[in-house]
Amino acid sequence: MKLTFKIIVSLTLVGLLGACSEHKPVASMATNVALSAKIVPNRKLYVSHPPRALGQWTVADIVQDYSVTTTGKLTPYFVKAKVSYPPREVTFVALKKEKKLELWARDSGEFRFIRHYNIKASSGVAGPKLRQGDKQVPEGVYRIAGLNPNSHYHLSMKINYPNKFDRFHAEQEGRTALGSDIFIHGKAVSIGCLAMGDEAIEELFVLAAQVGAENVKVVIAPHDPRVYPLKADAKTLPKWTPALYSMISREIDVLSSEDMPVKAGL
C-alpha cells in the first residue's frame, strides 16, 4: 500500500511540474491506471457510470458528476444577483495584479456581477504575451476555445490565444512562435496560465459547459482599471499596448456600469 501511494504521488508531481501546455490525455495505460486511483475518488458524488482512467472522461461525464454540487454552490450567488441559472452568457474578468477572477453573467438585459474567485497561481508581469516561453499570462479579450475534462491540472478551459488581435500585431512586427495552449485550470501551479484550484475550476468548467463555450468571454487585464487607469509603459511595452488597454477597459466598463463589484459585496 505504501509503495502504491508513493508511485501515485510521484506520477502526480511529474504532471504538475510540466508546462501549461501539458493538458493532453495521458498516453500510457499504466500511468492512466495509477492516476485514476487518485482522480476517480475526486469525482465525488452522483457518478452513475463505471470509473474511467484519465484520458477517457468526456465533458458530459464531468457535468453529470459535478453539476448538482456546483449548481448548489453557485445558485445563491445567481439568486442574489437576480440572474437565472444557468445564464445565457458569461464573462470572466481576470485581474493579474489582484489575482482575482470575477464571474459576470446575464440572461436578459445587462450583465450582473455574480462572485469572484482567487487566482491561486499565475506567472509573468504586466503586459501582453508576445512569444512562446515568455511565461506571460496573455492580456486581451478572448473566448473559450475548448473544455478539457482530462487535464493534468484536474480540469481546464483553453482560451483562444493568440486571437486575431494578437496575430495581427505579431505579423506587423515579424514575430513568430507566439505560444499557445493557454488555459484556465485547476491546481495551484502555472506557467502562463491561470490556476484556480480544483474547487473553483469545477464550478467554472461546469458553468461554461452548461452555458456553451461559445457564450463565454474572457477578459484579462494587468490590473483593475476601475481602481486606476490602464497605462502602458512606452519603454517596455509594444506601441500598440495603449490600444489593447483601451479595448480591455471598455469591456470592463460596460460590465461595471450598473453593477460594480463593490456594490455586490466583493
Question: Grid coordinates 504521488 are at which residue?
Answer: 9
CB-CB contact of 73 with 203 (8 Å): yes
Q: Once rounded to an integer, what is the mean pLDDT over residues 52-63?
A: 83
pLDDT-based confidence at residue 12 (cuts at 50, 70, 90): very low
CATH architecture for residues 60-256: Beta Barrel (2.40)
CA terminus-to-terminus distance, the chain = 45
As to burial, measured by CB atoms within 10 angstroms (0-12 exposed, 13-18 middle, 19+ buried), residue 98 is middle
Q: Which tens digit of pLDDT belongs to each residue from 74-125?
A: 999 999 999 999 999 999 999 999 999 999 999 988 999 999 999 998 888 8
Q: Which tens digit of pLDDT belongs to each residue from 201-232?
A: 999 999 999 999 999 999 999 999 999 999 98
Q: Give the 3-state secondary structure of residue 4.
A: helix
Residue 247's H or E segment, with its range, is helix 241-256
pLDDT-based confidence at residue 200 (cuts at 50, 70, 90): very high
Q: What is the pLDDT of residue 52?
A: 58
Q: What is the pLDDT of residue 47?
A: 41
Greatest alpha-carbon pair distance for the chain in Å reads 59
Query: What are the boundaries of each domain within the chain?
Result: 2-56, 60-256
DSSP result, 222-238:
SS-TTTS-----TTTS-
Pick the residue with more confidence: 253 or 264?
253
pTM tops 0.75: yes
CB-CB contact of 211 with 88 (8 Å): yes
Q: What is the pLDDT of residue 154?
A: 94
As to burial, measured by CB atoms within 10 angstroms (0-12 exposed, 13-18 middle, 19+ buried), residue 225 is buried
Q: Which tens digit of pLDDT belongs to each residue from 226-261?
A: 999 999 887 889 999 999 999 999 999 999 765 555
C-alpha cell at 194: 491561470
